[in-house]
Amino acid sequence: MPHTDLTTWLEIDLAAIRRNIQQMQTITTRPVMAIIKANGYGHGLVEVARAAQDAGCAWVGVARFEEALAVRRAGLGLNILVLGYAAPPCAGEAAARNITLTVYDLDVANQYAARARAAGHILNVHAKFDTGMSRLGIFPEDGVPFMQQLSAIPGLCVQGMFTHFARSDEAERVTTIWQNERFSALVTALNAAGLRPALVHAANSAAALYFPGAHYDIVRSGIAIYGLQPSDEAPLPPGFTPALTWKARLSSVKIIPPAQ
Ligand SMILES: *Cc1c(COP(=O)(O)O)cnc(C)c1O
């Protein structure tokens, strides 16, 4: 496509993103939650969300509530998970627009529920567990009582649970194996207690490709759907193509004399 008035531009191949999503689904035999935070890793939030929907994704993941709203306002109906913290006043609108929030604190969960009830809707939530990333999440050892109490809050529907790997894109495998063992033990305990939610997820792109034991019900893939390597130590297998090309118009060619 010629951009005669521009000197430099990005071209985004949405068909490549659709194919990369399908490739990830083929490799993992799991549905993909397309991660589209940070303006779709710079590829365009709404455009990538639409490409994900066209590729058959039932889910996209964003970092912030505002990103989820932008996807909804664009008229897309697929499920949206806000992976980061959302302030309690957002919860009424989240419930009304079927935006799923992440919970890891009972006080905040109760505030979300109060807003959802006031808005006359059920709020879907996914519980987040900290198995070693040391960022957001409940420690898995506290997981069973947490899920018991969370499930009892009227106005909330505990639809999923997840964790995030700190080092799955490194050659060092011990940390991911250890994190996954802690998470898997919690899933087993919740299953026994009748508290396992419908959607259990853990794997980012690198874990989806290199740790099949972490696939669970759905994989959360960001970097790979854009056709980019998770890292030098966790390269993409064949079948993925980069979606972004940076182009620029040639503006000057000249020969510089020696010693100048
Ligand atoms: C960004 C993010 C992902 C996607 O990670 P990639 O390595 O880009 O696949 C998955 N889960 C969470 C919680 C994230 O924040």
Q: Is 230 in the pocket of ligand 1 (CB under 6 A)?
A: yes
pLDDT of res. 209: 98
pLDDT reported for residue 4: 78
**What is the chain's alpha carbon radius of gyration, rounded to the nearest angstrom?**
21
If you measure from the C-alpha of residue 1 to the centroid of ligand 1, how many angstroms do you get, rounded to a whole number?
32
CA atoms in the 13 A half-sphere facing the CB of 83: 21
* Residue 9: strand, helix, or coil: strand
Q: Is 250's pLDDT higher than 80?
A: yes
pLDDT digit string, tens, across residues 77-121: 999 999 999 999 999 999 999 999 999 999 999 999 999 999 999
CA of 189 to the centre of ligand 1 (A): 26
Residues in the chain: 260
CA-CA distance, 160 to 239, in Å (whole number)?
30
Q: Is the CB of 179 under 6 A from ligand 1?
A: no
For residue 204, the CA-to-ligand 1 centroid distance in Å is: 5
Query: How does residue 2 score in pLDDT terms, banded at 50, 70 and 90?
Result: low
**Sign of dihedral through CA atoms 191, 27, 102, 174?**
positive
pLDDT, tens digit, 9 for 90 and up, residues 8-41: 999 999 999 999 999 999 999 999 999 999 999 9
Q: Can you tell me the mean pLDDT for 128-132?
A: 97
pLDDT band, residue 1 (cuts 50/70/90): low
Across 109-169, the runs of DSSP E, i.e. the strands, are 123-129, 156-163
CA of 219 to the centre of ligand 1 (A): 10
